[in-house]
Amino acid sequence: MVVFYCPETTYIRDQRYDIDIAQVDVLEELADTEKRAREHTDLALTESQISRPIPAQKTYFQSLAVFTGIYSNDNIIKLVIAPFVSLLNPGACYTIITSGMLQAWYVTIAITQAGLFSAPPYLLNAAQLGYLSVGPLVGGLIGSMVIGLLSDPIAKWAPKRNKGV
């Protein structure tokens, strides 16, 4: 389903917009270049500022291709090591550990329920053991809907109360 309904959306942007890796912020220069481009004036662009033409949008069947081009010219070893280097980030480690503990908790609960309630005196079968999880499922769905409805109003109310911050 991921292959058919979640196509690759990597976009190769123009090099002049790579301000997040620039050594010196050139935001004013970029804004000036954009302003001139909008006014259709002649620009004397340096070689690093020459933009690539915008590629045509792919059809659905073209988006299903296994290989769609090269998106990075980085060394393959660097690309393989990068996910492991990100583990040095405390925030990433915290997320991995907490989500792993959450999954382990779900599995532990399922195994414990099966062990407790399939033995005497309960003697529940597989379907009945599955029904034990309906309550948390319904509660989770209701809680998700309530939070979904309340999160935007709260996110708008909190900065107003905090004077725009």
For residue 32, tell me if it sits in a domain.
yes
Nearest to 46 by CA among 75, 72, 15, 24: 15
Asked which of 12, 40, 71 is the last residue of a domain, the reply is: 71
CB-neighbour burial class of residue 83 (10 A; exposed 0-12, middle 13-18, buried 19+): exposed
Same domain, 98 and 150: yes
Q: Which domain holds residue 56?
A: 2-71
For residue 62, tell me if it sits in a domain.
yes
Q: pTM of the entire structure? A: 0.45
For residue 35, tell me if it sits in a domain.
yes
pLDDT tens-place string over residues 14-65: 666 766 665 666 677 777 777 777 775 444 455 445 556 667 788 888 888 8
Q: How many domains does the chain have?
A: 2
* Whether the Cβ atoms of residue 48 and residue 15 lie closer than 8 Å to each other: yes
Same domain, 103 and 155: yes
pLDDT tens-place string over residues 109-145: 989 999 999 999 999 999 999 999 899 899 999 999 9
For residue 65, tell me if it sits in a domain.
yes
Alpha-carbon Rg for the chain in angstroms:
26
How is residue 151 written in tokens? 């999160």
Same domain, 56 and 103: no
